[in-house]
Amino acid sequence: MTDTPATTKPSALFVCVHNAGRSQMAAGFLRALSGGAVEVRSAGSMPADRINPVAVEAMAEVGVDITAEQPKVLTTEAVQASDVVITMGCGDACPIFPGKRYEDWQLDDPAGQGIEAVRPIRDEIERRIRELLASLDVEPVALPTA
């Protein structure tokens, strides 16, 4: 058995303020839809204590389990280690490095919202994740059935 070469798979970092809703849903979709072909990170400029339970519920409805995730603090290292950095309302908290691909996704914040309000946010995130996968030349896999 030989050593495997260093990973060359693309990597993405999702950043929002609390790392409890949008960025966690995006990371969950990317993990599930990429089938492991993309390295996934998420972080927040001011992480919450736990993931938004309504975001967890909305993702469970489409077969994506994010219950084990914890909000994480945004680090310079996480940005430097990522090929694509997608911000979701974190303002100027995200450090900018030359040569990185940055996208800012304007999405409603699911914090304090009920499931009816979070579903369209979830669905928009899934649509954007599918576009991201296409831009990375990664064929999406089927989501597990809910």
Residue of 16, 26, 74, 133 with catalytic role:
16
Residues 27, 97: Cα–Cα separation, whole Å: 21
- Among candidate residues 85, 94, 107, 136, the one labeled active-site is 94
Query: CB-hemisphere CA count at 13 Å for 30?
Result: 28
129 in active site: no
Distances (CA, A) of 115 to 29, 57, 67, 127, 135: 17, 8, 16, 18, 30
16 in catalytic set: yes
Active site residue 53: no
**8 A C-beta contact, residue 1 and residue 36:** no
Task: List the catalytic residues.
Answer: 16, 90, 94
